[in-house]
Structure 1
Amino acid sequence: MKKLNLVVSAVLVLSLLAGCGSNSASNETGSGAGSNSAANDTAPIKLTWFDKNTGDAFTNPVAKAITEKTGVTVEIQQPTGNPLEKLNLMLASNDLPDVLMLDRGSDIMNKYIASGAIIPLNDLIDQYGPNIKKMYGDTLKKTRSADGKNYYLANWYGLEKYPVFGFLMRMDMLKELGVGDKVNNGEPFTAQEFEDLLVKFKEKYPTVDGKPSIPMTLNGEDMGSVQWTFKGMFGMKTYYEENGELKKDIRDPRYLDMMKFINSLYNKGLIDKEWATMKTKQYEQKIAAGNVFATANASWNVGAPNTLLKADAPEGTNKEERQLYQYKVLGPNIAADQTTYGPKSSLGWDGVTISKTNKDPVRTIKMLDYLASEEGQYLLMWGLEGKDWDMKDGKHVPRQEVLDAFTKDWNEASKTTGIRKWTWMIKNGPGSDGTPYDLIGRYKSDPTTDLAIKNLADTAYDTAPYDNLGPAGGTPEAIMEQKVGETINKYYLKMALAPTEQQVTDMYNQMMKEVEAAGLAKLEKVYNENYQARLELWK
């Protein structure tokens, strides 16, 4: 019996050792994570992946390299129609892909979390996500749901000091108007200086190439860009914060001053009379025609007309200067460091999630961990070493032919090389060698972008604490918020186009009465409750 017990004990010990060896292997991180992988970590596996941003097959060189590293091939599912409709349909039918990229903080994300359609990632990250922990850091704390769990990995995360909105003016015309010393020295313009430039332009150029000159035009179809640019000028943020309490931005004393300024420019004939009803295509055509001096927008939204302006530059003129460049304009009594032209969330735009029907969450998180790693980020955004880039003196150096290909045809270059085609778990900013993860968007820029960075990078601020503080969809407060928003938008245009300044004030007072009646105070209570809950969650 004693001998039998020894044999049984030996078998148990061997079994336990075998089990521990198996568990140890399965707990190892995937390829590229900095440790040895278990044999089955790169065995072929296919994941279905919902990505509203691209419908291309997972067959380009970068995709093949990902499969080689992780063993995972991806079947991309992209809707032919409205992505939101497709997501709602998948949720209702329980026909879910393995991985979904959803808008972070959106109602659809909240629906997927509440219904249990996507799984919490905390345990998976703890066991198999060393790169995720390293790269995301405190971002994981800030993207937790109310229950304290992480259901997604943020995309385009990390606060980036990069310009967003600003006032754009033709550089060649600025020089002709006598302010050549300020065209590229980083100095801001005061509100009065800006207005004076609009007046001088109108006086100096009654017509341009036989067309009536337009001192300033705006895109009526993109009211967000218009509003955020002027708010940036007056140092306004998402909410008006007073004694630690959040209030709707319309309560900010600077809001009425801002509306009076816009109205003043309009009534002095310095803003295009047609702007409020103008569509994006018309807006771009007007700028490209060459008779517009200024606009208010994000710099990338005037890329197309700027290209045409350069192409139409007369022989012997400086083509680069025949473009709209982005500048900082200071509202009255607003210091340069108080402007807020650069609202950006450090938590990004999308969230990569794993569905409850995913048959291998461990392999999935290991793949995501590799993509989140520095090696994975450079693969996604720079392509293949030795083909698209080389490591020289410890730095990533892109090959010139790759940069040239993207300059010639961005979409074709991305499709052919795979560079920047699969933008998953992307981190803003530079890697450990100082080169930006986003090769095409940040490594090599054009003169308009360079000057925008010089003029406006310091206006960036993090909107993450204020993002998505509104009421949950389907609640009475959600209906109130819709009504309040519609009322504000209606009066914004009315105030901007009012015949007199007194009418601007009267309309503002009427707007405040209507939004109060629509439930503004109750909404602000929701904002503050959600805000305090968020701050508590982030501790």
Structure 2
Amino acid sequence: MRQASVRKVLGIMLSAFIIITAAAGCSNNSNNNAKGDAAQQTSESNGAANTEGNAAAQAGDMSALPDAEFSVMLGWNVPQLASQDAPVVKQVYDKTKVRLNLESPPANVDEKLNIMLASGEMTDAIVINNPSMAQKFIDAGYVIPLDELFDKYGGQIKENLNSVWGQLKNEDGKIYKIPSGYILPGADRMLETGYSFQFLTNVLEAKGWYKPQTFDELTALLQEVKEKYPQYIPMSLALGTESFFTNMVKTLAGAEGVRLYNDYVWTPDDKLIYKYKDAGIRDSLKWLNQLYQQGLLDEESAVQNIDGFKAKMASEKVFSSIGSWFDNMYEANSIFTQDKKPFRFKYFLLKGNPEVAKTTYDAYGANYDSGVYISSKMKDPERFMQFVNYLNTQEGNLLQKGVVNFDGEDKDGYDYFITEEEGKKYIKSTTFQVNGWQNDELFASKRGLNTFGFLTFSTDMNDHPSFTYQMSRKELDFSMWWDDETKRANEGYGEKGTDWIEEGRSTGWDYTDIAGLNFKPESAEYIATTKVNQLSYNTIVKLILSASDAEFDKGYDEFLKKADDMGIGQAEAAMNQMYQDRKAEWKQ
């Protein structure tokens, strides 16, 4: 789930459609489309919720129903949740009479979920991105099967997924999750890279808008920064926050052209190996250690948490970093914009070395791992399913997307308006929304944007024939989001507002064939992988601080041997067997 993330972004390449994701992710409601005109946002049919087993889409007006309230634990950390008075939240309530009390977990989501498992204290619904974790809740009886609820009240969701509906089934044949932020089958997908290397543009501008291409070129650049710009830390990391560490490893894998999916690398010879056994990932981590040895890496990186890191970025103390460009540079760029600074952070997609044929920063595919699970505590699961099913109609999807002006005018107070291009109607962001993202980092929460996206299909950079309102072709040109300084910098590099489309395609890879391969929580393979992952986080961080190449290599070899002793080799074998079994099944 972009996963993800679920927030618009402002940076050198400012996008209207990126989500965070915690998972993932995570992708959610960035550019949904809907049926009809202004009347459609109020109602096309006045029938109440279908309570007699009809599987047809719930598209009626639920405003006459009694109020309902549900608590939901999200699957990612959200610094600022929208209030019930936010315009988008309010218009969803007015139509459905449903309120959601959203809870945001800490950065370590699994830790929160494990606490819930141990205590038995559940919210009404839980967003879980990790299938192995979800299985624990299923085995404990804390979440309920949804097959009958889908048959009676989930007709639109079933219709949306159509041929891939069976992918939601658990190994016991039952369905326990509502798919979260899913892509409609047959959608035309456009990718924007989420992982990257970020740099301050003033130094790059002084070098004639220089753009490093490889790790060696970046090392030389950081050496120059250290010598000529002592006010900057050449590179800083927040390895004290595990999610930052995870995103950093994904970024390094992308630069090396490694197809990393969760804990395993899909090799060119069609095998799955534990990620830290991959030579490319090892080489990139060794390169980081070499930066540390040369005094180019922030000495506080190993213990620095994400808040301290962001404070350094925003206070102009850091030249570069690695990982999720939204997480790393959004707040700093927002402050730079407000203060009218003559620079921004800008991201690039480097290659580990010139021999890398194709980078792999973007992973995409049909993956229904992330889901919303209804707990056994929920008192009215029927009403909740009706509500969610409505959000999965074109009308409901548009309602939760934002406040839309259907009269064709770009007006203040609206998030979107319906426009016409070449005789066809499209949906487009208003100037009010564009300015809001540029000038107020809390704009999304104040408006309630992206609050319900995890409960419906995603239109994050994709179009589908069923969308009555596809996103404006002009909205694909991200230059509409650039402020003057951003525009100046991008012009310095000769970049256009549509370059991201080809960039995403050139670095993307399809993980569909290996998506959803997971061990059972009680299995020896699951336990071994979990323990090795816990060991790897602490060990790799320490290895980045090694005093020499020899010390790094010795420590890395010892770590791999210990991982094998702990059972990671058996886990690899089991993962490959699951993969071969799947291929055989899919050929039938």
Is the Cα–Cα contact under 8 Å of residues 177 and 200 in structure 1 kept in the other structure? no
Among 169, 173, 191, the alignment partner of 1:161 is 191
- 379 and 477 in structure 1: CA distance in 2 versus 1, 3 angstrom threshold: same
Distance in 2 between residues matched to 1:120 and 1:224, nearest whole Å = 32
In the TM superposition, residue 298 of structure 1 has moved relative to its aligned partner by 1.2
Q: 2:359 is matched with which residue: 312, 330, 339?
A: 339
Match of 2:575 in 1: 527
Change in CA separation of 1:63 and 1:287 when aligned onto 2, cut-off 3 Å = closer
Further displaced range: 400-409 or 168-177: 400-409
Partner residue, 2:233: 214
2:220 counterpart of 1:196: yes
Matches within 5 A, 1:358-437: 361-386=381-406, 388=414, 389-393=416-420, 394-411=425-442, 414-415=445-446, 417-423=447-453, 424-427=455-458, 428-431=460-463, 432=467, 433-435=469-471
2:35 matched to which residue of 1? none
Give the root-mean-square deviation of aligned CA atoms: 4.1
The match for 1:176 is 206
Cα distance change, pair 324–109 in 1 and its aligned pair in 2 (3 A): same
Q: Is the 8 A contact 1:215 1:293 kept in 2?
A: yes
Q: Of 132, 147, 158, which aligns to 2:157?
A: 132
Shift of 1:519: 1.4
> Contact (CA 8 Å) 2:81, 2:445: kept in 1 or not?
no
Q: 1:44 maps to what in 2?
A: 66
Ranges in structure 1 where 5+ consecutive residues have no aligned partner: 1-22
Spell out, residue by residue over 1:422-464, the C-alpha distance to the aligned partner (whole angstroms, 9 max, x if none). Answer: 332241334533318xx9xx99644499699368523244556
Report the secondary structure of 2:265's partner residue: strand
Deviation at 1:330, TM superposition (A): 0.8
Please list every run of 5 or more consecutive structure 2 residues that lacks an aligned counterpart in the other structure.
1-49, 184-188, 407-412, 491-496
Alignment partners' CA distance in 2, 1:24 and 1:490: 53
CA distance 1:59–1:523, shift in 2 (3 Å): same
Task: From the two aligned structures, give the one with the greater helix fraction.
Answer: 1
Percent identity of paired positions between Structure 1 and Structure 2? 23
Q: Which residue of 2 aligns with 1:247?
A: 273
CA positional deviation for 1:58: 4.9
Distance in structure 1 (CA, Å) of the matches to 2:220 and 2:323: 20
For residue 497 of structure 1, the aligned residue among 516, 536, 545 is 545
The alignment covers a number of residue pairs equal to 489
CA contact (8 A) 2:253 2:360 kept: yes
Q: Compare 343-352 and 148-157 and name the one that shifted more.
A: 343-352
Map 1:264-343; keep pairs closer than 5 Å: 264-300=290-326, 301-310=328-337, 319=342, 322-335=343-356, 338-343=358-363
Q: Report the residue type matching 2:237 in the other structure.
A: L
For residues 18-49 of structure 1, give each alpha carbon's deviation from its aligned partner in whole angstroms, at most 9, with x where no partner exists: xxxxx9975263553xxxx6x99964362534
Contact 1:143 1:347 in 2 (8 A): no
Equivalent residues of 2:125, 2:378 under 8 A apart: no
Distance 1:90 1:512, change over 3 A: closer
Distance 2:92 2:351 in 1: 48
2 CA distance for matches of 1:198 and 1:93? Answer: 49
| Structure 1 counterpart SS, 2:135 | helix
Question: Superposition pairs for residues 460-539 of structure 1, below 5 Å?
Answer: 460-463=508-511, 466=514, 469-532=517-580
Q: 1:453 aligns with which of 496, 500, 503?
A: 500
Distance (whole Å) between structure 2 residues aligned to residue 282 and residue 476 of structure 1: 38
Which amino acid letter does the alignment assign opposite residue 403 of structure 2?
G
Q: Which amino acid aligns with 1:148?
A: G
CA–CA separation in structure 1 for the residues paired with 2:239 and 2:112? 30
Q: Deviations over 1:152-173 (max 9, x none)?
A: 1222223761211111122221
Distance in 2 separating the partners of 1:198 and 1:123: 59
Q: CA deviation at 1:488?
A: 2.6
Secondary structure in structure 2 of the residue aligned to 1:390: strand
> For the pair shown, which has the larger CA radius of gyration, 1 or 2?
1
Q: Distance in 1 between matches of 2:377 and 2:536?
A: 43
Alignment-derived partner of residue 151 in structure 1:
176
> Structure 1 length normalisation: TM-score?
0.75
| SS of alignment partner, residue 330 of structure 1 | coil
Pairing 1:90-105 to 2, within 5 Å after superposition? 99-105=124-130
Separation in 1, partners of 2:398, 2:213? 39
